[in-house]
């Protein structure tokens, strides 16, 4: 039964997230769902808090001038938490990093998209054994916990130090590219695989890896429409677009476009998603109900549609609902004020 | 007594460790187990089992956070009891929660699910949590880690129950999308 697996998986939830459950959240700060819309921004906010915590809790090390990333570890006898922390206020470009040396019998099984500032590639062999390769920008708040450690070794990967963990049923390798600000990890179920050789073969390539779910993004855009922000502030360009259509028997789908300004190291996120008013809610105004789920804010109109402006933490948000098409839109950023964000929201147009 | 001192007692194999754990975290563990089991008798047994299990794993383990270490053990033991209980013995709240877990990874994903590793899935869930606002993390984990009811979550975060329901429904769908996108499920 799949629920058993999910229940077990929650035992691996990081303590830092469990701590959030105990915190008192004032009503006005509770903001509604749309996981995608605040993706990078909330990660960034989390990073600030996480960095403060990391500085206090994680092992620290001196680093050379020019180093843009630090690998921090919080260790005990049998487990270790590894986090990549930025040391640089400037924009870090993820790029595409691929290992050339793939262990015999393994081939790519899955490639994730890069919307979260990281990308994962799964390799599998004929025996269904898996190698997971992942690379992340230093500011992507990427954190991994390794348990049941039997052996821990420091290794050299391209002149940067890495750590190889041999665990009871797997092995994991973590390393950084200090100058580019990228953190890497490799996880293999087969303990005989030479992960160091695989890591040393990682090269930056010009051609991006094609995400396995790329078709899903196209399907989502085809299903919901190709909406874009047409009046981006100066210096912003579209960095990623991802999405997923509504599956059979489901009701939720979305498209997320992330615009980045590299010089300012800022982002604007634009998303649109389907919504559903719960069966037990009696309302003649579904759009109003969906907007009310975004918390308290000022009522506005965006191109004739009902909307709402709100500020959540340091993030300015504009929400609006197209009740005719059943879509809920949002534009969020900490790059400009609400007043500056409004014309950006109003510039959203459907290209098809 | 602080957590480090309590953990030191476990390492010294001093049985006061259990007493101190019970004094400090007994009420909390009762809450964790009861939310899942909704039965006082079972809750007491599970909490006692939690102390025994903790005694058996510390050492060698030295938890970073004793509170969450205990809560994970208590939660696992509580759900183990639920999994093996017959459907007739489960209350409505538990059935509702289990059906929501099924929504996170639908049963029709069975073939891929067999190969699923709970740890990989757990990491993917951590990645998903990293995409949420703090308040959504709190609501999501209140429901799926602590098994709080919708009513309890609504009261805790001062939200209407219907909004909690709606947000959880959105997050379940979004979590499934994230797991698919990360390759945690196919």
> pLDDT digit string (tens) for B7-38?
999 999 998 999 999 999 998 999 899 888 88
Residues pairing with A218 in the sheet: none
A141 touching B, CB under 8 A? yes
**Segment of A236-250, B16-30, B106-120 carrying the highest mean pLDDT:** B16-30
Q: For residue B135, how many other CB atoms are within 10 A of its CB?
A: 24
Q: Are B141 and A21 inside 8 Å of each other by CB?
A: yes
Q: Is the pLDDT of residue B70 over 80?
A: yes
Q: Are B121 and A77 inside 8 Å of each other by CB?
A: no
**Segment of A277-286, B84-93, B100-109 carrying the highest mean pLDDT:** A277-286
Q: Are A5 and B113 inside 8 Å of each other by CB?
A: yes
What's the confidence (pLDDT) of residue B116? 57
> pLDDT digit string (tens) for A183-226?
899 999 899 999 999 999 999 999 999 888 788 889 999 999 99
Which strands sit side by side in the sheet containing A171-177, from one edge to the other?
Answer: A107-111, A118-124, A130-137, A182-188, A171-177, A160-167, A149-157
- Residue A116: alpha-carbon gap to chain centroid: 3
What's the confidence (pLDDT) of residue A281? 66
Task: Return the closest-CA partner of residue A119 out of A143, A141, A136.
Answer: A136
Distance from CA of A98 to the nearest CA of B (A): 17
B85 touching A, CB under 8 A? no
Which tops the pLDDT comparison, B75 or B156? B75
Contacts of A212 in chain B (CB under 8 A): 183
Contacts (Cβ under 8 Å, ≥6 apart) of A296: A28, A310
Nearest-by-CA chain A residue for B148: A21
Using omega within 30 degrees of 0 as the cis cutoff, is the peptide bond preceding B93 cis? no
DSSP of A84-121:
EEE--SS-----EEEES-PPTT-EEEEE---TTSEEEE
What's the confidence (pLDDT) of residue A96? 92
What's the confidence (pLDDT) of residue B181? 74
Task: Report phi then psi at B60, rounded to 5.
Answer: -80, -20
Q: Is the pLDDT of residue A49 over 60?
A: no
Nearest-by-CA chain B residue for A292: B163
Average pLDDT, chain A: 79
Taking residues B78-103, what's their average pLDDT? 75
Average pLDDT, chain B: 82
Tell me how many residue pairs between chain A and chain B have CB atoms under 8 A apart.
209
Long-range contacts from B171-174, C-beta under 8 angstroms, 24+ separation: B171/A33, B171/A35, B171/B132, B171/B136, B171/B139, B171/B140, B172/B100, B172/B103, B172/B104, B173/A250, B173/A251, B173/A252, B173/B103, B174/A33, B174/A35, B174/A36, B174/A252, B174/A254, B174/B128
Judge contact between B87 and B156, C-beta under 8 A: no
Query: In chain B, positions 28-67, which contact chain A (CB-CB < 8 Å)?
Result: 59-65
Spell A94-110 as b/e; 16+ CB within 10 A means b. Answer: bbebbbeebbeebebbb
Q: Are B173 and A38 inside 8 Å of each other by CB?
A: no
Taking residues B118-124, what's their average pLDDT? 81
Helix %, strand %, coil % of chain B (to 5): 75, 0, 25
Gap between the Cα atoms of A297 and A32, Å rounded: 12
Q: Is the pLDDT of residue A282 over 80?
A: no
Nearest-by-CA chain B residue for A277: B166
Gap between the Cα atoms of B5 and A342, Å rounded: 55
Taking residues B131-160, what's their average pLDDT? 84
Which residue of A1, A5, A215 is the best one to mutate when testing the B interface, meaning the one whose CB has the most B CBs within 10 A? A5
Q: Which of A9-18, A291-300, B176-185 has the lowest mean pLDDT?
A: B176-185
Q: Are B138 and A79 inside 8 Å of each other by CB?
A: no
Confidence of residue A33 (pLDDT cuts 50, 70, 90): very low
Whole-complex ipTM: 0.86
What's the confidence (pLDDT) of residue A32? 28
Q: Are B71 and A143 inside 8 Å of each other by CB?
A: no
Place of tokens 């990491």: B123
Contacts of B119 in chain A (CB under 8 A): 9, 12, 147
Which tops the pLDDT comparison, A322 or A143? A322
Burial group, residue B37, by CB count within 10 angstroms (0-12, 13-18, 19+): buried
Q: Is the pLDDT of residue A106 over 90?
A: yes
Taking residues A264-287, what's their average pLDDT? 82
Query: In chain B, positions 106-135, which contact chain A (CB-CB < 8 Å)?
Result: 106-107, 109-110, 113, 115-135
Q: Which of B64, B109, B117 is closest, CB to CB, to A76?
A: B64
Task: Return the closest-CA partner of residue A273 out of A38, A46, A28.
Answer: A38
What's the confidence (pLDDT) of residue B152? 84
Q: Are A10 and B183 inside 8 Å of each other by CB?
A: no
What's the confidence (pLDDT) of residue A44? 38
Q: Which of A46-50, A127-131, B123-127 has the lowest mean pLDDT?
A: A46-50
Helix %, strand %, coil % of chain A (to 5): 20, 40, 40
What's the confidence (pLDDT) of residue A37? 30
Burial group, residue A238, by CB count within 10 angstroms (0-12, 13-18, 19+): middle
B1 touching A, CB under 8 A? no
Q: Is the pLDDT of residue A264 over 80?
A: yes
What's the confidence (pLDDT) of residue B87? 59
Nearest-by-CA chain A residue for B101: A3
Judge contact between A270 and A318, C-beta under 8 A: no
Gap between the Cα atoms of A227 and A291, Å rounded: 20
Contacts of B128 in chain A (CB under 8 A): 35
Judge contact between B137 and A19, C-beta under 8 A: no
Q: Which of B110, B171, B182 is closest, CB to CB, to A112?
A: B182
Q: Are A42 and B128 inside 8 Å of each other by CB?
A: no
Taking residues A295-303, what's their average pLDDT? 87
Q: Is the pLDDT of residue A147 over 90?
A: no
What's the confidence (pLDDT) of residue A43? 36
Taking residues A32-45, what's their average pLDDT? 32
Q: Are A14 and B60 inside 8 Å of each other by CB?
A: no
Taking residues A107-133, what's their average pLDDT? 85
Gap between the Cα atoms of B160 and A28, Å rounded: 13
Contacts of B182 in chain A (CB under 8 A): 112, 120
B80 touching A, CB under 8 A? no
Gap between the Cα atoms of B114 and A215, Å rounded: 25
What's the confidence (pLDDT) of residue A101? 95
Residues pairing with A350 in the sheet: A227
What's the confidence (pLDDT) of residue B96? 77
- Residue A272: alpha-carbon gap to chain centroid: 17
What's the confidence (pLDDT) of residue B132? 81
B15 touching A, CB under 8 A? no
Q: Are B159 and A78 inside 8 Å of each other by CB?
A: no
Q: Which of A20, A120, A132 is closest, CB to CB, to B138?
A: A20
Q: Is the pLDDT of residue B105 over 50?
A: yes
Q: Are B122 and A141 inside 8 Å of each other by CB?
A: no
Taking residues A5-15, what's their average pLDDT? 85
Taking residues A71-100, what's their average pLDDT? 75
What's the confidence (pLDDT) of residue A4? 76
Judge contact between A96 and A205, C-beta under 8 A: yes
Q: Is the pLDDT of residue A41 over 60?
A: no
Q: Which of A8, A29, A81 is closest, CB to CB, to B118?
A: A8
**Neighbouring C-alpha atoms within 13 Å toward the C-beta of A149:** 20
**A6 three-state secondary structure:** helix
Q: Is the pLDDT of residue A242 over 70?
A: yes
pTM of the entire structure? Answer: 0.60
């Amino acid at each position: 039964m799949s629920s058993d697996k999910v229940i077990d998986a929650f035992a691996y939830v990081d303590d830092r997230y469990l701590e959030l459950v105990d915190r008192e959240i004032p009503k006005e700060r509770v903001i509604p769902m749309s996981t995608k819309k605040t993706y990078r921004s909330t990660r960034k906010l989390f990073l600030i808090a996480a960095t403060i915590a990391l500085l206090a809790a994680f092992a620290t090390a001196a680093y050379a001038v020019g180093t843009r990333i630090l690998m921090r570890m919080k260790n005990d006898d049998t487990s270790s938490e590894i986090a990549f922390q930025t040391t640089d206020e400037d924009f870090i470009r993820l790029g595409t990093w691929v290992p050339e040396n793939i262990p015999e019998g393994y081939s790519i099984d899955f490639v994730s998209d890069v919307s979260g500032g990281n990308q994962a590639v799964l390799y599998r062999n004929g025996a269904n054994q898996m190698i997971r390769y992942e690379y992340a920008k230093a500011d992507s708040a990427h954190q991994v916990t390794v348990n049941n450690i039997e052996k821990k070794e420091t290794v050299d990967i391209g002149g940067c130090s890495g750590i190889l963990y041999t665990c009871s049923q797997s092995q994991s390798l973590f390393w950084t590219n200090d100058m580019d600000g990228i953190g890497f990890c490799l996880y293999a179920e087969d303990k005989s695989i030479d992960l160091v050789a695989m890591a040393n073969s990682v090269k930056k390539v010009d051609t991006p890896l094609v995400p396995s779910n790329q078709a899903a993004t196209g399907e989502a855009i085809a299903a919901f429409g190709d909406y874009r922000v047409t009046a981006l502030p100066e210096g912003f360009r579209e960095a990623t677009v991802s999405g997923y259509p509504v599956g059979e028997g489901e009701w939720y789908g979305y498209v997320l476009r992330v615009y980045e300004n590299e010089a300012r190291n800022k982002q604007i996120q634009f998303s649109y998603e389907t919504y559903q008013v719960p069966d037990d809610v009696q309302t003649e105004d579904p759009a109003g109900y969906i907007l009310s789920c975004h918390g308290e804010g000022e009522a506005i109109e965006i191109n004739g549609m009902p909307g709402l402006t709100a500020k959540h933490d340091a993030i300015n948000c504009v929400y609006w609902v197209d009740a005719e098409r059943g879509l809920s839109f949002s534009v969020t950023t900490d790059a400009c004020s609400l007043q500056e964000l409004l014309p950006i929201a109003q510039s959203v147009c459907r290209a098809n | 007594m602080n957590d480090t001192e309590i953990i030191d007692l476990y390492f010294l194999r001093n049985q006061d460790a259990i007493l101190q754990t019970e004094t400090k975290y007994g009420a909390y563990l009762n809450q964790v187990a009861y939310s899942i089991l909704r039965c006082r008798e079972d809750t007491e047994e599970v909490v006692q089992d939690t102390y025994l299990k903790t005694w058996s794993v510390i050492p060698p383990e030295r938890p970073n956070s004793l509170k969450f270490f205990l809560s994970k053990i208590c939660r696992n033991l509580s759900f183990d009891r639920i999994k093996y209980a017959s459907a007739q013995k489960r209350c409505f709240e538990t059935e509702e929660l289990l059906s929501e877990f099924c929504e996170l990874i639908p049963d029709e994903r069975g073939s891929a699910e067999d190969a699923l590793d709970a740890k990989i899935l757990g990491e993917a869930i951590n990645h998903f949590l990293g995409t949420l606002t703090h308040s959504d993390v709190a609501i999501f984990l209140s429901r799926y880690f602590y098994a709080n009811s919708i009513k309890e979550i609504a009261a805790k975060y001062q939200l209407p129950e219907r909004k909690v329901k709606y947000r959880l429904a959105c997050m379940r769908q979004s979590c499934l999308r994230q797991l698919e996108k990360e390759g945690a499920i196919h």
